[in-house]
Amino acid sequence: MTALDDIQLLLEAKARALVARNAWDLDALIHTDFLYVNAGGRTFDKAGYIETYCTSGRVVFMQQRFANLVVKLVGDAAIATLLLDDELRIDERTVNGRYRSLCMFSQFSGRWLWIAGQTMSVGTA
């Protein structure tokens, strides 16, 4: 398998974990030193991301699809860009949005982990 295949599988697993609200599976995909900036400009560490987007119930993903995945290898790291089409519930309101995402992955013990990301809104899906 190529790095692109590995990253695509990781992103698919992340989407499944978010929709299933499975914190255990999501935790296994994210590096301990994770840093994320959401489309609203809020910064999260690993625990904050999992709590906000998986376990709190404040934000509930109904589905997450992605397209236009491009992966560039830089040493033991991978930088990915992609479009996300999300359907989620925020405070009992359904939101459909399209987002541009930049994600950084790194190899640890022979497997890729999500180490950083930033997302920006590009309109509705």
Q: What pLDDT score does 1 carry?
A: 78
Give pLDDT tens digits for 24-39: 999 999 999 999 999 9
String of b and e for 20-56 (b: at least 16 CB within 10 Å)?
ebbeeebeebbbeebebebbeeeebebeebbeebbee
- Which residue, chain included where needed, has tokens 């790291």? 77
User: Residue 101 phi/psi, 5° resolution?
Assistant: -125, 140
Q: What pLDDT score does 125 carry?
A: 52
Kindly list the domain boundaries of the chain, sorted by start residue.
3-123
Give pLDDT tens digits for 59-99: 999 999 999 999 999 988 999 999 999 999 998 899 999 99
DSSP 58: S
| 3-123 CATH, one of 3.40.720.10, 3.40.50.620, 3.10.450.50, 3.40.960.10 | 3.10.450.50
pTM of the model: 0.92
